[in-house]
Amino acid sequence: MTAIDRFTGDARPYSGGDPYADYRAADFPFTHHVDLADRRLGAGVVAANDEFFAQRENLLLPGRAVFDPGLFGHKGKVMDGWETRRRRGTSAEHPWPADEDHDWALIRLGAPGIVRGVVVDTAHFRGNHPQAVSVEGTSVAGAPSPEELLSDEVTWTTLVPRTPVGGHAANGFAVTAEERLTHLRLKQYPDGGVARLRVYGEVVPDPAWLAALGAFDVVALENGGRVEDVSDRFYSPAVHTIQPGRSRKMDDGWETRRRRDRGHDWIRYVLVAQARITALEIDTAYLKGNSAGWASVSVRDGADGDWREILPRTRLQPDTAHRFVLPEPATATHARLDIHPDGGISRLRLFGTLTEAGAATLYR
């Protein structure tokens, strides 16, 4: 695996201008995976031992943290992140925190899965970031309370051991644990602030839940579908097309640059497992003067199978949900959406049920 850049120590004090001008960052080899802690997937920070200066929920906000140098509140500087108060020792003779003193936050993943990498982002925390962090994970069925997660009955696996981190930096860590996880525990030593937490990995759905649903969206991100490749990433990522819910604004979908040739754009997907598709939906919500003109959908069974069209090239209307019932079920493991000539869509839904072979792969 490619070596990951490490950052330690304070960043320079903010001196005006672009607050990101001296931000320390790197290209991490795992960020092509989905963010399992994305709030739009249903992730949440369910508890923290302290959030005196800044709320724990900021950890999972989409987008990078913002900084307003003149914004102060009754408790001090308002920061776009999770920030705890300064820890103290036990007496005047020992005013310093003990070596193991730390603050913690419990994170419920938006979708359970295998974690491939974590980014603990300390943007704008320059001299008030933690000295070190660690990350643990566990898998607990249902919707456990914070008290249940912190009980002695829950076993936590170390994903990132206690490691020094830098202020005003993207601190990335590759994870090698091959376990399906539902919750994480972020610890910061001894105190301080973290702007954002990103948890990159592969969704591993609950097969019993999918079986109980019957027909479901077999390409949805939350169910284990993923984008395999895409022709154009200019305006917004293709993964938006399989996010939960309907799009709420234009950039919550996928949009390509304007083509000046005779080609077209496309997205390839991997389904959760082999499935029989019976219906599909292509939504162009909030894409009005820039929606795709026409679209077609093809599928194949197996990575080396031949593509076959299940929806011929069809005219799309702006800002509209287009629904199609297939004349007969289509068995597939992969799908491809082609748009002509360019533009965008907000969502693709492929409704179906797992085949017996597909269900068996999830139970392995």
Given a cut of 70, is residue 296 above it in pLDDT? yes
Helices (H), 73-232: 146-149, 207-213
| Tens-digit pLDDT profile for residues 43-56 | 999 999 999 999 99
Residue 238, both tokens: 């293709």
Q: What is the pLDDT of residue 120?
A: 98
Q: How confident is the model at residue 137 (pLDDT cuts 50, 70, 90)?
A: very high
Q: Is 53 helix (H, G, I), strand (E, B) or coil?
A: coil
Beta strands in 54-203 (DSSP E): 72-73, 76-77, 82-83, 103-121, 132-138, 157-164, 170-174, 180-189, 193-194, 196-203
Q: How confident is the model at residue 1 (pLDDT cuts 50, 70, 90)?
A: very low
Given a cut of 70, is residue 252 above it in pLDDT? yes
Q: How far apart are CA 28 and CA 172, in angstroms?
A: 7
Single-letter amino acid, residue 59? L
The mean pLDDT of 344-351, rounded to a whole number, is: 97
Which positions ≥6 away from 50 have C-beta within 8 Å?
84, 85, 103, 191
Q: What angle do CA 54, 58, 61 make, to 5 degrees?
A: 165
Asked whether 189 and 132 are in contact (CB, 8 A), the reply is yes
Q: What is the pLDDT of residue 336?
A: 98
The mean pLDDT of 169-187, rounded to a whole number, is: 96
Q: How far apart are CA 141 and CA 49, in angstroms?
A: 23
Q: How far apart are CA 252 and CA 231, in angstroms?
A: 18
Looking at the chain, the whole-number percentage of residues with pLDDT higher than 90 is 87
The mean pLDDT of 124-135, rounded to a whole number, is: 96
DSSP assignment letter at 249: S
Average pLDDT, the chain: 94
Long-range contacts of range 95-100, CB-CB < 8 Å, 24 or more positions apart? 97/190, 97/191, 98/190, 100/189
Q: What is the pLDDT of residue 249?
A: 85
Average the pLDDT over each of 3-7, 70-74, 300-304, 360-364 and give the range with the smallest value: 360-364
Given a cut of 80, is residue 67 above it in pLDDT? yes
The mean pLDDT of 287-295, rounded to a whole number, is: 94
Phi first, then psi: give them for residue 194, nearest 5 degrees.
-130, 130
Which positions ≥6 away from 89 have C-beta within 8 Å?
95, 96, 97, 98
Q: How confident is the model at residue 364 (pLDDT cuts 50, 70, 90)?
A: low
The mean pLDDT of 222-243, rounded to a whole number, is: 93
The mean pLDDT of 335-340, rounded to a whole number, is: 98
Q: How far apart are the first and last CA of the chain?
A: 26
Q: How confident is the model at residue 208 (pLDDT cuts 50, 70, 90)?
A: confident
Within 10 A of 103 (CB to CB), how many other CB atoms are there?
A: 25
Beta strands in 258-320 (DSSP E): 265-283, 294-300, 308-315
